[in-house]
Amino acid sequence: MDSTQGILSKLKADLPASLVVFLVALPLCLGIALASGAPLISGVIAGVVGGIVVGALSGSPLGVSGPAAGLAVIVMTAIQDLGSFEVFLVATILAGVIQVGLGFAQAGIVAYYFPSAVIKGMLAGIGIIICLKQIPHAFGYDKDPEGDFSFYQLDGETTFSELLNAFDVISPGPLLIALVSLAILVLWEKRLANRGNFLSLIPGPLVAVMAGVSLGLLFRSLPSLALAADQLVSIPIANGISGLLTFPDFSGLWIGAVYKTAIVLAVVASLETLLCVEATDKLDELKRVTPTNRELQAQGVGNIVSGFLGGLPVTQVIVRSSANIQAGGQSKMSAILHGGFLMVSVVALPHVLNLIPLATLAAILFVVGFKLAKPSLFRKMFHEGSAQFVPFVGTILGIVFTDLLTGVAIGLGIGVVGLLIENFQLPFQIHHLPVERGEGVRIVLAQQVSFLNKASVLQSLNTIPDDATVEIDGTEAVYVHADVVEIIDDFVVSAKARNIQVTVKGLDHHQKGHPVGGTEILVTPPSAQH
């Protein structure tokens, strides 16, 4: 009885959330297919498979899978190189097989090596780029398809030049619809949805879509406000399911380039998935942890199924996952339901969905993006210090001015440089560094002293004046690189000539048989032996 109530309780939250994710996913599936140079329906098929198949197999409670913008350029290039979309589908199937193998090989552990600052920067960067990309659609300027999140766009423009173009050709109809939709979303969330009545069961984005469709129909009789065909959702219309499917051409198994494409797809799709898994888990209020190896296996099966049915490659995607979380999703049922809604809509409701203005969907995505890049997040990261803030900002700038994977790579690079600097500066603590002859000093080595610390250790030892008394304490060190031990040994030897008395502790387990190999060694200069 309790388990049934728990399922019903989650379904009460998951059903509205799945509708929101469906509304967000629909234009993205179509836009990514267009950006990939693939049939439009292939994006929707990938969305259905990502929702139903991957959703059912995945251990991610809130992650949503589907076609990924980060793969669009790879897919477009591969289709051209392989000669046909049907041959490309074979590469998608093989990529899925590779991903299943990576899951069994425990490759999901890679996810745990992404620094928190980079993941948070990725979320904020995606939020900013979503907002920037939706402004032209809100203005009625739809030259670049939804789902193109790269700085250098498919229409030959950049993110910022597209904004300038949009400002020059603002369409009053889409702009009015976007403003009304945005007002509804804000009002619904702040005022109406939290009153505990029946309105709390209705997702604000669904209300916004209904308003957008109504305004679009009304504007048909007003030439100055009427929407053009490219300012509406455009789902392909076919007779029956069989007319929507494309099947792979398995003669491609004899083409070497297919295997190269499969490897590239598997690696990039796996990296995007693991990044999204880490980001989604951080957004989860319950802080549940997704089993990453199982996720790779689920994504692999999803790509195998998508390839067989004529769909694009799938990954877990942060835009849809964050929309799911913001809409109140509680379990993976919301992801599965959204896949079901995509399937039903394409087969049974294409004429209705083709009435939805892109300006309304732009307003929905704008809210999603803003929540990912809240000003409070920037303040929090700033107060955590430069070690967190610098890679955070670097990741954001990288994503905004390049693409997702490049931006994350930039953030990781900055994080590594920061780690090297930190290691260079903090290999030990010095208690009273002497400045005059005859003074004493105690040097306590840190737990980890790597070869990167050679320069700072050598510089510090060289600044010790003659006739000093030095204690080098390595008793708390877990690891001291052999090069650093050698520097200390050389200092011990040179200390005799400089009348420096040296005591070394705790380095015997770092390099056996070395001159410093005792638990404690006292080096007394000749002048002190009389």
| Neighbouring residues of 212: CB distance < 8 A, sequence distance ≥ 6 | 177, 180, 181, 356, 357, 359, 360
| Neighbouring residues of 150: CB distance < 8 A, sequence distance ≥ 6 | 69, 72, 73, 402, 403
Kindly give the parts of the chain with pLDDT less than 50. Answer: 1-2, 512-530
Q: Are 321 and 202 found together in one domain? A: no
> In angstroms, rounded to a whole number, what is the distance separating the alpha carbons of residues 277 and 281?
6
pLDDT digits (tens, 9 = 90+) for 15-29: 999 999 999 999 999
Q: Is residue 418 part of a domain?
A: no
Q: Are 297 and 436 found together in one domain? A: no
Q: Are 447 and 476 in contact (CB under 8 A)?
A: yes
Distance of CA 330 to the CA centre of its chain: 21
Closest C-alpha to 364, from 251, 485, 208 = 208
pLDDT at 9: 67
Which residues span the domain enclosing 185? 181-226
Which residues are bridge partners to 152 per DSSP?
Answer: 158
pLDDT at 253: 94
Q: Of 367, 388, 412, which residue is a domain's last?
A: 412
Q: Are 516 and 380 found together in one domain? A: no
The number of distinct structural domains making up the chain is 3
Q: Are 283 and 340 found together in one domain? A: yes
Q: Which amino acid is at 437?
A: R
pLDDT digits (tens, 9 = 90+) for 34-87: 888 899 899 999 999 999 999 999 999 999 999 998 898 899 999 999 999 999
Q: Are 275 and 209 found together in one domain? A: no
Q: Are 394 and 433 found together in one domain? A: no
Helices 85-104, 72-82: crossing angle, 10 deg rounding? 130
Q: Are 215 and 233 found together in one domain? A: no
Q: Which two tokens stand for residue 418?
A: 């920061």
Q: Is residue 74 part of a domain?
A: yes
Q: Are 186 and 154 found together in one domain? A: no
> In angstroms, rounded to a whole number, what is the distance separating the alpha carbons of residues 341 and 347?
10
Q: Is residue 176 part of a domain?
A: no
> In angstroms, rounded to a whole number, what is the distance separating the alpha carbons of residues 185 and 367?
8
Write the CATH number for 491.
3.30.750
Q: Are 502 and 378 found together in one domain? A: no
> In angstroms, rounded to a whole number, what is the distance separating the alpha carbons of residues 95 and 365?
30
At residue 83, φ and ψ (nearest 5 deg) are 95, -20
Task: Report the predicted TM-score, pTM, of the whole model to 2 decimal places.
Answer: 0.81
Q: Are 313 and 452 found together in one domain? A: no
pLDDT at 443: 84
Q: Is residue 420 part of a domain?
A: no
Q: Are 476 and 399 found together in one domain? A: no
pLDDT at 476: 81
Q: Which two tokens stand for residue 269?
A: 């799709």
> In angstroms, rounded to a whole number, what is the distance separating the alpha carbons of residues 442 and 523?
15
Q: Which two tokens stand for residue 467?
A: 């006739």
DSSP 95-158: HHHHHHHHHHTTGGGGGGGS-HHHHHHHHHHHHHHHHHHHHHHHTT--SSPTT--SSB-TTS-B
pLDDT at 281: 92
Q: Are 204 and 266 found together in one domain? A: no
